[in-house]
Structure 1
Amino acid sequence: MSQQTSHRPPPGPPTGGHGPRAAAGVPTAKPLDFGGSLRRFAGVMRPERVRVAVLLACGTVSVVLTVLGPKILGDATDVIFTGVVGRLLGSTMPPGTTTAEAVAALRAAGDENQADMIAAMSGVVPGEGIDVERLAQILATVVAVYVGAFVFGWWQSRLMTVAVQNTVRWLRDDVEAKLHRIPLSYVDRQAKGDILSRVTNDIDNVAQTTTQTLAQLVTALLTVVGVLSMMFWISWVLALVALVTVPLSILLTMAIAKRSQPQFIEQWAATGRLNAHVEEMFTGHALVKVYGRQADAAATFARENEAVHDATRRSQFISGTIQPTMGFLANLNYVLVAVIGGLRVASGQLSIGDVQAFIQYSRQFTQPLSQIASMMNLLQSGVASAERVFTLLDAPEQDPDPVPARDPERVRGRVEFDDVSFSYTPDEELIEHLDLVAEPGQTIAIVGPTGAGKTTLVNLLMRFYEIDGGRILLDGVDTRAMTRDGLRSRVGMVLQDAWLFGGTIAENIRYGVRDGREVSEEEFLAAARATSVDPFVRTLPDGYDTVLDDGGASLSAGEKQLLTIARAFLADPDILVLDEATSSVDTRTEVLVQEAMNALRSGRTSFVIAHRLSTIREADLIVVMEHGRIVEQGDHDGLLAADGAYARLYASQFAAPMTEDPAGSGA
């Protein structure tokens, strides 16, 4: 059988808060909705339905062959037993005695039970032993049946692995795409470690659980149906006896599963909280040590670790009681079948081969039930993880880009905030009716105390957040009428926190270059020299091919910031946003960077957020913000002369009062 390839349909457009699968009719699961989440995951596997159908067919054939095995072995037992009985009768009966004569002789001797048993047996001939040729044929058939069952079972497992891994890969793709569509506000409200746990641990748990349980569940269910059919075929009386324990098994399993499911939910939620704490402590490891908070961090870790331990212990203990419970019921079933089956053999109503086959079937019947019960803890754990992934996929998304989108006919760099209002929470206004115009080529410096709304203003320009009222215009076009990618492709941004990824220094600098744009080596080196990156990179053994690990931990804070500035230089944007871009460089480097920025800002509109007022003296317009409002604007000299908010900020940095020691320096 050749491996079939299924092609996933192309994803549709974003669908708001219903996740990428809503268009396919997959229902949105509610929290703790076991059945809904299970059905939803089945919907996720729809692109693999052809492969799933084939593996179901392989599983069915494998189960049918496996179920036939005990019955055929029962025939072999009958051949051996009839041969043994025939040899024994031949030793006590005259030669040439027929089976009917032997039965009559036994009845005449008062041995009714033995007579009934022999009468019910076919093929018993007094004096003849075991039919070796017939026995060899039966055993060969058994071997062929079990080999066939193995081959089809192997194909089922192989196809199941491929189907599950493809599905999980697509699920990861969906989560990755979702992370790019959720607004920044959602990320700000979530612990990053918990999001990472959903993307990694939970999806891995879904994959492991599905691989381990799905094929076994299918096989177990088919085995139950097949074995039950064979049991009724052999003896409906024994079949009813075997079924006595089934309702009790189902009720006990459902009761235990109902109690353990909330514990699995808590287990993975606690795991997410633990990951969030570890991620925070690892990211801020240096500060934890500086402020001596190792004991507090260890105590929090111990508390969260204990919560994971307790939830895991409770979930595993509760679900673990299923297996011994099912084992007890299986043994009870075995005893009933053995006793009643033996009585029916003695009365001649069944052959000993049929009873042997039936005992095997009773074991096969309870075994898949036990498997299903023992897999419930894995299944519940996987569904709990799937629910957490689906919760992420159902998170509200940012508004889709307009179709068709508008772009400025010619980007000159005029930015206008027209009656803009915004708040992070509905009951607390931050920016109210703000108006600001940045003419092409101007440098706009935004200053003010912490929490005044400076960075928020830039985030609104970049559409990291959507405004509540008013408009933001780029060369006369509302930024909401543009695609986010189209808007951000025109903006170069340098943040206060330098972000570097694992890769070479050259790759980090080229990161800001848009796809399709060719950058020559001369342009690259010019950007590096303009931002004072080239001198310190030349001192490294591998130069620009130096590989950065762990966010560039081997570099100083100033060197990392210079790399991010070089990245913005090389991107050659129409608009620049510098959010405390020089806060991490030393005074000498700051002078060099300022000179390079002055050259870069030539002909470009620039927004500079700065706490160091010395860096924005030459700005064309200085905007002073307090509590989300513009309280002053003008140039450096004019604002100092006005003796207002800007003058107070300036004085707090550069006009510290001088005090004299009235007792003299020698006192």
Structure 2
Amino acid sequence: MNNMRGMPGGPGSMGGWSTLRALNNEKKLEGRKVDWKVTGRVMRFAYPYRRDIVIFLIAVVISAVLGVATPVLAGDVVNEITRGGPEAARTVVWIAVAIAGIALADALLSLGQRWYSARVGESIILDLRTRVFDHVQRQPLAFFTRTQTGALVSRLNNDVIGAQQAFTSTLSGVVSNAIQLALTAGVMFTLSWQITLLSLVMLPLFILPARRVGRRLAEITRESYELSASMQATMVERFGVAGALLVKLFGSPADEARKFETKARRVRDIGIRQAIYSRTFFVAMLLVASLAQALTYGLGGWLAVTGAVSAGTVVTLALLLTRLYGPLTALSNVRVDVMSALVSFERVFEVLDLRPAIEERPGAVEITGARVVFDDVTFRYPTAAETSLASLEDVTVLDRAATEPVLHDLSFTVEPGTMVALVGPSGAGKSTTAMLLSRVYDVTSGAITIGGTDVRDARLTSLRDTVGVVTQDAHLFHETIAENLRYARPGATDGELWAALSAAQVADVVRELPDGLETVVGERGYRFSGGEKQRIAIARLLLKAPSVVILDEATAHLDSESEAAVQAALTAALTGRTALVIAHRLSTIRAADQILVMSHGRIVERGTHESLLAANGLYADLYRTQFATAG
């Protein structure tokens, strides 16, 4: 039985694992056919590494040949020992040297195979991941609001790795097993067709039970994945800053520990069952191979005693037998291996085939000027079918029904250097209007121009440089203050960073930190208060130095002291710039050159603070309600 361990294709090698994996996947891949379009795209990803793949396959072929040579030489050793005499002794020594040389060559080839396999596999992973990451970054905001983050990350991890196995495990396995099977079977038939046929007759005794065990193991494995995912989701939610704070404020650590222990125990129990079934598979493989070896020694020994074959031939056949079952089983499941890899590629290509909603038009131009004009703008949010994938939302079919417009016939102008404020009840369409200006979405009808250039005709880099945004929930990456600031201008010097922080009224806060600009802000900037985060975000905006600024309720959730500091920073940010300000607190936009009052996606009033109060309309109602509440 020990002879099976470590043999190519045996349970002690990667071939055994590949066989088990194929059996696990077989049920869910039944009925699938090879999509040659997908195969063609796969080949294009492999083409840059064709030289490495060829060298890798040559090494695999040579290694397979050497694997068959060793049993033949071992049989020759036995024959020489049986013959006896000084000449036989010298021959045995030379054969032993040859076996040692083959072992050394095989070891070096194994290292070479692994190096080229890793080089090709990891390079393909790099190409796929960078392509998918870049493509996802170009998707509209609606894509991210609908998509399950975990499902998307899985495409970058699990599916990409599954795809690259097509060029490492699957490709090498097919070539190696096919050559090894052909050479092994050919040599065995040459030595004794009787023993070879007997060995092949026993093959169904292994494959049929193994398939049944494999299907049951597949069910257990899928259940294990689901339980592990549930346990991991619990950890992610509780280990995040917001989740940890919620547990401390409303929950009980002891209760949370008990809930987690319950899930962890289920993972443990399914893991034990999985281990037992896995071991059953390998024991069955070892048992059938051992029985076949016993028959080989029995029939071969009888043939040797009768003089039909030599003792060395019996030994060679027994050793070759250990190299027969693994390749046969692996090749019987090669279609499943190929389909598994292609399914992973399909899932990756599914993301890559999503067309970005916002693309730069041919002949796009630079924006010059800062005059903003909304000309009869109507907008509806894109449907799920236009922006997402069913598999990333965990639904069967995406909704294709057209949504109702959320903005209707908006027309207004923001002159250079002036401030226009958008006010209105929640859901009036204020933030959506701002997103259209920065081209997070494209208008359904009408046009938006900056300096006379339709934003859809502008270069995307020019638009990003022209329009700067500060939202009510300023997002900071889990990096240093300097890295967060340089996100706006990568080449900014430390002096420029400090100047921006000073203008944003937050330099003193940063100077008091032990690491200053190199302070890591924490997840979502939790190291800082809301007002401090907003001022750092404003400093980032000042570094960008846009000519058009959007403030989306930048002080909505701040206390009075923080609001005063942020307002001082905003004064610096707005000086000399065209500003579109979305205001929750009406006291912050009294000095606006024009106030647009929105309701249900329409502009229902417009004017200055004083004129709107005098009109005694919706703005006056909002103002009285807000200040009555404040009083």
Question: Structure 2 length as normaliser, TM-score?
Answer: 0.80
Q: 1:144 to 1:593 in 2, by over 3 A?
A: closer
Aligned to 2:598: 625
Q: How many equivalent residue pairs?
A: 582
Secondary structure class of the residue paired with 1:493 = strand
Q: 1:160 to 1:438 in 2, by over 3 A?
A: same
Aligned to 1:224: 181
Aligned to 2:628: 655
Q: 1:507 to 1:254 in 2, by over 3 A?
A: same
CA-atom RMSD in angstroms: 3.9
Secondary structure class of the residue paired with 1:446 = strand
Alignment of 1:630-641 (within 5 A): 630-641=603-614
1:397 to 2:397 alignment: no
- Aligned partners of 2:331, 2:101: CA distance in 1, in Å? 28
8 Å contact 1:51–1:159 — kept in the other structure?
Answer: yes
- Aligned partners of 1:392, 1:269: CA distance in 2, in Å? 23
Alignment of 1:108-257 (within 5 A): 131-200=88-157, 203=160, 215=172, 218-246=175-203, 249-250=206-207
Shift of residue 534 of structure 1? 1.7
Alignment of 1:258-269 (within 5 A): none
8 Å contact 1:326–1:370 — kept in the other structure?
Answer: no
- Aligned partners of 2:42, 2:454: CA distance in 1, in Å? 41
- Aligned partners of 1:317, 1:651: CA distance in 2, in Å? 72
Q: 1:224 to 1:291 in 2, by over 3 A?
A: same
Structure 1 counterpart of 2:372, from 403, 409, 414: 414
Secondary structure class of the residue paired with 2:487 = helix
8 Å contact 2:160–2:344 — kept in the other structure?
Answer: yes
- Aligned partners of 1:236, 1:338: CA distance in 2, in Å? 14
Alignment of 1:605-620 (within 5 A): 605-620=578-593
Per-residue CA shift, 1:274-302, capped at 9, x if unaligned? 65565444252223443448799779867
1:567 to 2:524 alignment: no
Shift of residue 561 of structure 1? 1.1
Per-residue CA shift, 1:556-602, capped at 9, x if unaligned? 12111110011112211011011121235442443344344334323
- Aligned partners of 2:255, 2:424: CA distance in 1, in Å? 35
Q: Name whichever of 285-294 and 309-318 sits farther off.
A: 309-318
Secondary structure class of the residue paired with 1:131 = helix
8 Å contact 1:193–1:273 — kept in the other structure?
Answer: no
Aligned to 2:524: 551
Secondary structure class of the residue paired with 1:284 = helix
Q: Name whichever of 271-280 and 563-572 sits farther off.
A: 271-280
Aligned to 1:54: 55
8 Å contact 1:191–1:276 — kept in the other structure?
Answer: no
Aligned to 1:352: 311
1:450 to 2:408 alignment: no
Q: Name whichever of 636-645 and 306-315 sits farther off.
A: 306-315
- Aligned partners of 2:224, 2:457: CA distance in 1, in Å? 45
Structure 2 counterpart of 1:341, from 300, 319, 322: 300
- Unmatched tracts of structure 1, length 5 or more: 1-29, 84-127, 659-667
1:642 to 2:600 alignment: no
- Unmatched tracts of structure 2, length 5 or more: 1-28, 384-401
Secondary structure class of the residue paired with 2:605 = strand
8 Å contact 2:377–2:444 — kept in the other structure?
Answer: no
Shift of residue 490 of structure 1? 0.6
Secondary structure class of the residue paired with 1:364 = coil
Shift of residue 330 of structure 1? 1.9
Shift of residue 77 of structure 1? 0.7
1:604 to 2:577 alignment: yes
Per-residue CA shift, 1:47-76, capped at 9, x if unaligned? 222112111111211221221111122112
State the one-letter code of the partner of 1:437: T
State the one-letter code of the partner of 2:419: T
Q: 1:631 to 1:316 in 2, by over 3 A?
A: farther
Shift of residue 82 of structure 1? 2.4
8 Å contact 2:471–2:551 — kept in the other structure?
Answer: yes
- Aligned partners of 1:376, 1:276: CA distance in 2, in Å? 34
State the one-letter code of the partner of 2:449: L
Per-residue CA shift, 1:13-71, capped at 9, x if unaligned? xxxxxxxxxxxxxxxxx999696699576664332221121111112112212211111
- Aligned partners of 1:175, 1:308: CA distance in 2, in Å? 32
Shift of residue 424 of structure 1? 4.8
Aligned to 2:75: 74
Per-residue CA shift, 1:497-516, capped at 9, x if unaligned? 12222443233233212x56
8 Å contact 2:538–2:573 — kept in the other structure?
Answer: no
Q: 1:606 to 1:156 in 2, by over 3 A?
A: same
Per-residue CA shift, 1:459-496, capped at 9, x if unaligned? 22222223322222223322112233321221111111
Alignment of 1:263-282 (within 5 A): 278-281=235-238, 282=240
8 Å contact 2:477–2:525 — kept in the other structure?
Answer: yes
Shift of residue 209 of structure 1? 9.9
Per-residue CA shift, 1:363-414, capped at 9, x if unaligned? 1212445678999999998777666545444444334311121334x32332
Shift of residue 439 of structure 1? 2.4
- Aligned partners of 1:457, 1:639: CA distance in 2, in Å? 21
Q: 1:143 to 1:424 in 2, by over 3 A?
A: closer
- Aligned partners of 1:455, 1:320: CA distance in 2, in Å? 59
- Aligned partners of 2:30, 2:207: CA distance in 1, in Å? 25
8 Å contact 2:548–2:579 — kept in the other structure?
Answer: yes
- Aligned partners of 2:347, 2:267: CA distance in 1, in Å? 16
State the one-letter code of the partner of 1:468: T
8 Å contact 1:417–1:472 — kept in the other structure?
Answer: yes
- Aligned partners of 1:42, 1:256: CA distance in 2, in Å? 34
8 Å contact 1:455–1:609 — kept in the other structure?
Answer: yes
State the one-letter code of the partner of 2:544: A
Aligned to 2:3: none
Shift of residue 188 of structure 1? 0.8
Q: 1:313 to 1:203 in 2, by over 3 A?
A: farther
Aligned to 1:496: 472
Structure 1 counterpart of 2:451, from 475, 491, 498: 475
Q: Name whichever of 444-453 and 496-505 sits farther off.
A: 496-505
Q: 1:305 to 1:32 in 2, by over 3 A?
A: farther
Aligned to 1:92: none
8 Å contact 1:443–1:608 — kept in the other structure?
Answer: yes
- Aligned partners of 1:495, 1:657: CA distance in 2, in Å? 23
Query: Computing the radius of gyration over CA atoms, which structure comes out larger, 1 or 2?
Result: 1
Q: 1:140 to 1:594 in 2, by over 3 A?
A: closer
State the one-letter code of the partner of 1:353: G
Secondary structure class of the residue paired with 1:568 = helix
8 Å contact 1:77–1:352 — kept in the other structure?
Answer: yes
Secondary structure class of the residue paired with 1:633 = strand
Shift of residue 218 of structure 1? 4.6
8 Å contact 2:481–2:520 — kept in the other structure?
Answer: yes
Q: 1:220 to 1:48 in 2, by over 3 A?
A: same
Aligned to 1:27: none
- Aligned partners of 2:318, 2:237: CA distance in 1, in Å? 59
- Aligned partners of 2:314, 2:507: CA distance in 1, in Å? 87
- Aligned partners of 1:64, 1:359: CA distance in 2, in Å? 17
- Aligned partners of 1:143, 1:649: CA distance in 2, in Å? 90
Aligned to 1:87: none
% of aligned pairs identical? 34
Q: Name whichever of 572-581 and 463-472 sits farther off.
A: 463-472
Secondary structure class of the residue paired with 2:117 = helix
Question: Structure 1 length as normaliser, TM-score?
Answer: 0.76
Aligned to 2:390: none
State the one-letter code of the partner of 1:403: P
